Amino acid sequence: MDTMCRDDLVVVVYRDKKYLKKLEMEKSFHGKGGILPFASVIGCPWGTRFGEYEVFRPAIEDIIMYGVRRETQIVFPKDAFFISVKLDLKAGSRVVEIGTGSGALTLLLSRAVGPEGQVVSIEKEERHYKNAQKNLAKYLEFRNTELFNMDVLDFDGREFDAAFVDVREPWLYMEGIRTFLKGGAIAGFIVPTANQVSDLLQALRQGFGDVEVMEILFRRYKTVAARLRPEDRMVGHTGYLLFARKIELIKEMGDSSELRDSV
């Protein structure tokens, strides 16, 4: 039987609240459901109820939402999981992230590409870089991630399967992003305002195709069978997402007769 062990990370659930904790023998969890001594949790199966508390193995969403120390706005799971799909990440993929922030998305990218893949994350601000370093050291599952404290313009990486960009003025880095990517590879962007979307769309006209713009809205429901209805509050706008594919610029096609002759 798979049981909870000393120093394991656990998520403690009390009604609609969650808390990420480390099982230290001499400590306890104090909450509205009473005191939960961790000594009584150690050795029990994962997914055990103790009075009004439920204790589970943390999912990656729990790590991102309740574990990561934030010094920047993070990419929330409602966007992050969709991003990993749109970037077509899979085991063995190589992805570059421009703008590490607090490292929340970095953790998910690492999980998506697996131990055979590679994540290279670039953060210009030293304060954010140091915070991300601590978060990644604490929560990374695989040793597949490199973190750089530098301006992306000084980075000379090549041949990534995908790129994701989370910086204030992404249009300043378009040529560099193109050089990082394999032919036809996907680049993703997140920006908070509509005018940034407009500026980015202009920049994507040169060197990128198959451009998409979207945002994801997210609404939870109350889990009361007799009174099923939406929560009073919802997570609305967090950012606009843009995706595009690197495209090579080729000369114009010939006239229609030349095109027919080539078929």
**Is the Cβ–Cβ distance between 23 and 6 less than 8 Å?**
yes
Q: Above 60 in pLDDT, residue 258?
A: no
Q: Are 37 and 91 within one domain?
A: no
Q: Are 74 and 43 within one domain?
A: no
Residue 152: closest CA among 187, 184, 183: 187
Q: Are 148 and 181 within one domain?
A: yes
Band of pLDDT at residue 261, cut at 50, 70 and 90: low
Q: Are 44 and 87 within one domain?
A: no
pTM: predicted TM-score of the whole model, two decimal places: 0.88
Q: Are 44 and 149 within one domain?
A: no
DSSP character at residue 3? B
Band of pLDDT at residue 82, cut at 50, 70 and 90: very high
pLDDT digits (tens, 9 = 90+) for 33-78: 999 999 999 999 999 999 999 999 999 999 999 999 999 999 999 9
Instruction: Determine, yes or no, domain membership for 251.
Output: no
Q: Are 165 and 239 within one domain?
A: yes
CATH number at residue 13: 3.10.330.20
Band of pLDDT at residue 236, cut at 50, 70 and 90: confident
State how many domains the chain has: 2
Q: Are 77 and 201 within one domain?
A: yes
CA 149 to chain centre: 19
Q: Above 90 in pLDDT, residue 248?
A: no
**Is the Cβ–Cβ distance between 179 and 217 less than 8 Å?**
no
Mean pLDDT on 111-122: 97
Band of pLDDT at residue 255, cut at 50, 70 and 90: low
Instruction: Determine, yes or no, domain membership for 4.
Output: no
Band of pLDDT at residue 259, cut at 50, 70 and 90: very low
Angle at 133 between CA 131 and CA 134, to 5 degrees: 70
Identify the pLDDT of residue 157. 77
Q: Are 52 and 172 within one domain?
A: no
Q: Which domain holds residue 13?
A: 9-58
Q: Are 99 and 135 within one domain?
A: yes
Instruction: Determine, yes or no, domain membership for 188.
Output: yes
Tokens of 53: 């508390």
Instruction: Determine, yes or no, domain membership for 112.
Output: yes
Q: In the chain, what percentage of residues exceed pLDDT 70?
A: 95
CATH number at residue 223: 3.40.50.150
Band of pLDDT at residue 237, cut at 50, 70 and 90: confident
Q: Are 236 and 177 within one domain?
A: yes
Instruction: Determine, yes or no, domain membership for 146.
Output: yes
Instruction: Determine, yes or no, domain membership for 216.
Output: yes
Ramachandran angles phi, psi of 241, nearest 5°: -105, 135
Identify the pLDDT of residue 254. 58
Q: Are 51 and 71 within one domain?
A: no
Instruction: Determine, yes or no, domain membership for 81.
Output: yes
Q: Are 120 and 148 within one domain?
A: yes
Please state, rounded to an integer, the average pLDDT across all residues of the chain. 93
pLDDT digits (tens, 9 = 90+) for 14-32: 998 999 999 999 999 999 9
Mean pLDDT on 136-153: 96
Instruction: Determine, yes or no, domain membership for 123.
Output: yes
